[in-house]
Structure 1
Amino acid sequence: MYDYWVAIIIGIVEGLTEFLPVSSTGHMILTQKLLGISESDAMLNTFKIVIQLGAILAVLIIYWKRVLSLFGLVKLPKRGGGGASGTQGPQGTSKLSLIHILIGIVPVMLLAFLLDDFIEQHLFAPSTVIIGLVIGGILMIAAEKQKDKPTAEDVDHITYRQALYIGLWQILSLWPGFSRSGATIAGGMLSGVNRGASADFTFIMAIPIMFAATGYSLLKSYKSFSSDDITFFIIGFVISFIVALLAVVSFIKFVQKMKLTYFAYYRFALAAAFALYLWLS
């Protein structure tokens, strides 16, 4: 049984980093190293996936109108913008559909299913996170240097092709440290989608992905859990949800407006600091 304070610390880290392009999984792996917990612990690897669902539920609360509109259950108001409020594009017609979401999530979900054991056994380590932080940061800087004018100013103007491109870029997030939001926002910008619309599409796609990842992870390992482990999971999940809910509105707006270059610099600094830590330890 783990001390519950470990669940609280990792839950806070997840809640604070899920909405920033800095890799929440990477931060949890580095935190795990700092806490002196084995990198090969399968139960804790499942825990890190499950508590991300707590943070994603906070996204669902913010985007609930947009999500329900995909199923035709809510009609969005006719006003411009494509931000976290779930409003529509300039034409007042909701164009984002379930097809866009499916196109965006199928590539990464298929590869995640096929490579799950390899990823868990070989990539959930501080050294691989450092690599992901650096290369992901370079990608984000490259995206900010994109000079072409975006063709999609909000999520309702994202084409099927752009949704596919973003979905393919999202495959990079299977490597811990790349960051799902970092890879997809940068990939969206390189595909002609502006930063805010890329962020919106990223967070909407994350909802089904994390539900699927959590369900699959639990099905794989639930038989090995004890009652103490379940309590450990619940604490981390609840903490992650509460922290994410407190942070989600300001963080999503922050990500929509702030240049990815600044997040890249943070990633480089974190990678350098942790590389030094590993070298000295």
Structure 2
Amino acid sequence: MSDLFSSIILGIVEGLTEFLPVSSTGHLILVSDLIGFDEDWTTTFKIVIQLGAVMAVLILYWKRYLGIAKDVVTFKLTPNKLNVFHLVLAMIPALVVYLLAKDFIKNDLFGPKPVLISLIVGGILMIVAARVKRKITAEETDDITYKQAFGIGLFQCLALWPGFSRSGSTISGGLLLGTSQKAAADFTFIISVPVMLGATVLDMYDSRDMLTSDRLVLFLIGFIAAFVVAMIAVVTFLNLIKRLRLEWFAVYRFVIAILFFIFVIL
């Protein structure tokens, strides 16, 4: 299969899975293994095209981001309204862990077997989060406290393990910390933009030697494919993740992991 066709397929996979707690990175790794698109530079490709899907979130939540920016400029930062401090507190843990362990993550966790394990472990966390009863103190994103934002950021560190899922780990963390599933989902998507922007910039800088002119074309094609598909799917998937219990997504993760293990790994 040509690299061009492979980049389009992976862009579509990214756009379809980025907004569901099933791990877009995990799906990219598994699909890459199936179609033979698995070289040293493709790890960077898989990270960069996620930015295409995340840009769809930027468009969807542009009013919220504009409001956050306006509050910064006018110094209207209050704990009882989502502001830039909530985003920073949620970003810091994963950023620190990524900087400390990025080589281990890219060299040891970007493979089919680690992904299958994290799909199972992440699914178990989602079931626990959905079934453990907690008093809901944050029905909407503006109700989320600084403490909850930081706690969700700690759970987001789990998403550095490909296959765990950023939305799955942060929504699970939000539920365990007392947010509603809707508030946790909204907060997850809002923080995804700065998190993925930062991760992509860092990774592109570290992998700048691999960004040759012919590969940049593939990066761009994958980015565009992910963006277009994500824009089509975003509204439906956002409504879906806010309504369906996490157990359903956990079951899907288990089925994918088992099928891939039986038909590919064995």
Q: TM-score range by the shorter chain?
A: over 0.9
Unaligned ranges ≥5, structure 2: 73-78
> How much has 1:241 moved relative to structure 2?
0.3
Give CA-to-partner distance per residue, 1:152-174, whole Å, 9 cap, x none.
00000001111111000111101
> How much has 1:227 moved relative to structure 2?
1.6
What is the aligned partner in structure 2 of residue 191 from structure 1?
177
> How much has 1:279 moved relative to structure 2?
3.6
Return the match for 1:182 from 147, 168, 172.
Answer: 168
Q: Is residue 12 of structure 1 aligned with residue 26 of structure 2?
A: no
Count of aligned residue pairs for this structure pair: 260
- Supply the AA of the counterpart residue of 1:224: M
Check the 8 A contact 2:134/2:175 in 1, yes or no. Answer: no
- Supply the AA of the counterpart residue of 1:194: S
Structure 1 CA distance, aligned partners of 2:40 and 2:85? Answer: 34
Give CA-to-partner distance per residue, 1:73-108, whole Å, 9 cap, x none.
69xxxxxxxxxxxxxxxxxx9700100010001000
Give CA-to-partner distance per residue, 1:170-212, whole Å, 9 cap, x none.
1110111100000000110000001000001101111001111
Structure 1 CA distance, aligned partners of 2:113 and 2:134? Answer: 35
Segments of 4+ in structure 1 off by > 6 A? none
Normalising by structure 1, report the TM-score: 0.89
> How much has 1:218 moved relative to structure 2?
1.2
Secondary structure at the counterpart of residue 42 of structure 1:
coil
Give CA-to-partner distance per residue, 1:127-173, whole Å, 9 cap, x none.
00001000100000111112223110000000111111100011110
Secondary structure at the counterpart of residue 207 of structure 2:
helix
Unaligned ranges ≥5, structure 1: 75-92
Check the 8 A contact 2:80/2:144 in 1, yes or no. Answer: no
- Supply the AA of the counterpart residue of 1:196: K
- Supply the AA of the counterpart residue of 1:48: K
> How much has 1:37 moved relative to structure 2?
3.0
What is the aligned partner in structure 1 of residue 28 from structure 2?
28
- Supply the AA of the counterpart residue of 1:143: A
What is the aligned partner in structure 1 of residue 112 from structure 2?
126
CA RMSD of aligned residues (A): 1.6
Return the match for 2:59 from 42, 61, 68.
Answer: 61
Normalising by structure 2, report the TM-score: 0.94
Q: 1:194 to 1:133 in 2, by over 3 A?
A: same
